[in-house]
Amino acid sequence: MAEVDEVVKRLQAQKGVEGVIIANSEGIAIRSTLEDHHTVQYVALIQPLLVKAKKMLQELDPTDDFTYLRIRTEKNEIIITADKEYFMVAIQKPAP
C-alpha cells in the first residue's frame, strides 16, 4: 500500500500532472489528489466509459485485454488504466 502511495506522490511531482485518482470498480475513489467534487465527477463519468471500452474490446477480440485509455483534449490529457478491480486516472497537461 505504501508503494502505491509513493507512486501517487511521484506522479504528482511530475511536470504537468494535475491530478491522480485511484478508484475501485464500484466507483468509489480511494486515493485522490484532487478536490472531492472534482474527484467524484471524474470517477462517475469515467466508470461507465471504462465499462463500455472493455466490453467493446472484448467483443472485437475475446483474447485481447484492455490496457489503457488515453483521452487527449485541447487542454489536458487524461490517462486511464484499469485492472479487474481498480482503475486509475491521471490528468496531465501535455508538454508544450
Partner 1 sequence: MAARKASVVHKAPAQKASKTLAKDDDDAWDATDGLDDSFHLKSTSDHHHHHHHPHQLVLTEAELKEEITRVLNANNPHAPKNLVRYSFKERFYKPVTAVDHLAVHFALEGNLLDKDSDEARRLSIVQLPPGFVPGESKVEDHAETPKSTPMEDGGESEETGDEDKPRGGSSRRRKREPKITNQFNFSERAGQTRNNPSRERSCQTEPPPRITFSDSANQWEIYDAYMHKLQHHDTIEKKRRSTVVKKDEFEVKKKLLDSGNEEVAKVGEVAKIIERMVIQNTMDDIAQDFKYFEDASDEFRDQEGTLLPLWTFQYEKARHLAVTALCWNNKYQDLFAVGLGSYDFGKQEGGMLLFFSLKNSAFPEHIYSTGSGILCLDIHPQLSYLVAVGFYDGCVAVYNLKETTKDPVYKSNASTGKHSDPVWQVRWQNDDMDNNHMFCSVSSDGRVVTWTLVKNELMSSDIIRLSVKGDPSDGSDGSQLTVISRGTSLDFHKQIDYLFLVGTEEGKIYKCSKTYSSQFLETYDAHRMPVDTVKWNHFHPKLFISCSSDWNVKIWDHTVKTPMFTFDLGSPVGDVCWAPYSSTIFAAVTIDRKVHVFDLSINKFEGICHQIVVAKKIRLTHIEFNPIHPIIIVGDDRGTVTSLKLSPNLRKKPKSKKGQDLPKGSEAEILKMDRLLVLLREPELD
Q: Left (φ > 0), alpha (ψ -120 to 50) or beta: where does 27 sit?
A: left
CA-to-CA dists, residue 89 to 10, 64, 66, 78, angstroms: 14, 21, 15, 7
Could you give phi then psi for residue 10, rounded to 5 degrees? -65, -40
Among 22, 43, 46, 50, binds partner 1 (CB under 8 A): 22
Q: Which of 55, 56, 65, 71 is close enough to bind partner 1 by CB under 8 A?
A: 55
Q: Does residue 30 bind partner 1 (CB under 8 A)? A: yes
Sites of contact with partner 1 (CB under 8 A): 1, 3-4, 7-8, 10-11, 14-17, 20, 22, 24, 26-27, 30-31, 51, 55, 58, 62, 67-68, 70, 77, 79, 81-83, 85-88, 90, 92, 94-95
